[in-house]
Amino acid sequence: MKAFIQDFSLSAAVAGFIATVISYAGPLVIIFQAAQSAHLPREVLSSWIWAISIGSAVLGIGLSLRYRVPVIIAWSAPGSALLVALLPEISMAEAVGAYLVSSLIIFVVGVSGAFDRIISKLPAAIAAAMLAGILFSFGTGLFVSMQHKPLLVLAMFAAYLIGKRVMPRYAVMLVLLTGCSIAAFSGDLHREALVIGLATPVWITPQFSLGATLNIALPLVMVALTGQFVPGMAVLRASGFQTPASPIIASSALGTALLAPFGCHGLNLAAITAAICTGREAHEDPRKRYVAGVVGGLCYLVLGIFGATLVSLFSAFPKELIAALAGLALFAAIAGALTGAMAVPSDREAALVTFLITASGMSLFGLSAAFWGLIFGMVTHVLLSARRPDLLRKSTATEAVQSVDQ
């Protein structure tokens, strides 16, 4: 605790807070859509939010303190989107059984060390391009939101530029304060929507079925490993953190299994929000950026306990404020990812394919754009990097002539 207090900084705390805000701003809406499509009672929905929040909090705090790295754990947004279409056909009890099966499979992948071997084979340019593609929509969302709230977004953008010029570490904090102030004074902050209430966990006895396993468990595994853990580890590696993936994956799977009977569908390593906490905006010293992960976990903990207030809290903020805040907070991460994607000349076309597919947001066979971007990028890399037989013969002949000349 003493070391944490010594390493504490306002910029890292703000980064952790913003990461939490962004985690709830978008993905939480998907969970409400899934609950609405399945006609779940309000108590079950509240328990679901409590479970994913508490799990994210405990894992984020524990792993950040253990490895001194800003580890941000969040629920699977693609997994939530998957449930929107599947829950009406499958009971919540069967879904919980599928959650347990998927967490078991992911746990085995984590403890076996297979994921680390997969990551080591992934070219850095392709990993960076996938990250850039994931973050791309957040960057464009900043300027799209300007159509509806030009004064608010322009003021936040101006605050960001001024902050980067005067005090770069606190630029995002200045953006947050500017946005909240303008929203409050302009009447866009709906205070009357705020309601205070505690979440109550609800136990759901799991039921196991082949249909739920095939339709929910296996897709959740694929989405978690390719759409969450791969980009999440790419964010950490791109920022210079060499944290092993196995303990993070195994811990996340174990946390999911323990909280699944309360509605938790999957806890994964975050990528988008993690990018906010791993860069220089959090702290100039990488060894002190873990504070952002701890603060983010504490925010998860508080919001999880007061789960009934989450909807009212985020409905009080205009959506343009959240979009602008996310885009500006991720500017540095987008720039770094694009730079890394184009850094290796021989991998630029493969990186470009990865970036375009990932940024497109396409979905094929229930798998996310990040997965297909990775697959097509790797195929392009293999095909273009393989030496053609005619070029190989020319190279051999040239070497033979040079050896004779010598």
The whole-angstrom separation of Cα 309 and Cα 328 is: 26
pLDDT digits (tens, 9 = 90+) for 201-238: 899 999 998 878 877 887 788 778 876 888 888 888 88
CB neighbourhood size of 363 (10 A): 14
Q: How many domains does the chain have?
A: 1
Is residue 109 pLDDT above 80, yes or no? yes
The whole-angstrom separation of Cα 59 and Cα 74 is: 9
Q: Number of helices and strands (H, E) in the chain?
A: 22, 2
Nearest alpha carbon to residue 247 among 1, 69, 48, 126: 69
Instruction: Confirm whether 343 is domain-assigned.
Output: no
Report the amino acid identity of residue 406: Q
Any bridge partners for residue 367, and if so which?
Answer: 364
The whole-angstrom separation of Cα 57 and Cα 339 is: 32
Alpha helices in 317-388 (DSSP H): 319-329, 331-341, 348-360, 369-385
Instruction: Confirm whether 138 is domain-assigned.
Output: yes
- Dihedral of alpha carbons 358, 364, 368, 374, sign: negative
Burial of 63 (0-12, 13-18, 19+ CB in 10 A): buried
Confidence label for 244 from pLDDT (cuts 50, 70 and 90): confident
Nearest alpha carbon to residue 302 among 199, 189, 392, 384: 199
> What's the average model confidence in pLDDT over 85-92?
79
pLDDT digits (tens, 9 = 90+) for 290-335: 899 999 999 999 888 876 676 566 667 787 887 788 788 778 778 8
Instruction: Confirm whether 392 is domain-assigned.
Output: no
Instruction: Confirm whether 102 is domain-assigned.
Output: yes
Residue span of the structural domain in which 209 resides: 2-146+189-317
Q: Copy the structure tokens of residue 114.
A: 């297979």
Helix, strand, coil share (%) of the chain residues, nearest 5: 75, 0, 20
Pairing of strands 73-75, 267-269: antiparallel
pLDDT digits (tens, 9 = 90+) for 339-395: 888 888 888 888 999 899 888 877 777 666 777 888 898 898 888 887 555 544 454
Q: Angle 30-34-39 (CA atoms, 0-180°, nearest 5)?
A: 145
The whole-angstrom separation of Cα 404 and Cα 177 is: 72
The whole-angstrom separation of Cα 156 and Cα 145 is: 12
Map residue 200 onto helix, strand or coil. coil
Instruction: Confirm whether 397 is domain-assigned.
Output: no
Q: Copy the structure tokens of residue 37.
A: 């499509």
Find the helix or strand (DSSP H, E) in which 134 lies: helix 124-144
Alpha helices in 167-271 (DSSP H): 171-185, 210-212, 218-222, 230-238, 245-259
pTM for the structure as a whole = 0.69
Instruction: Confirm whether 194 is domain-assigned.
Output: yes
Instruction: Confirm whether 294 is domain-assigned.
Output: yes
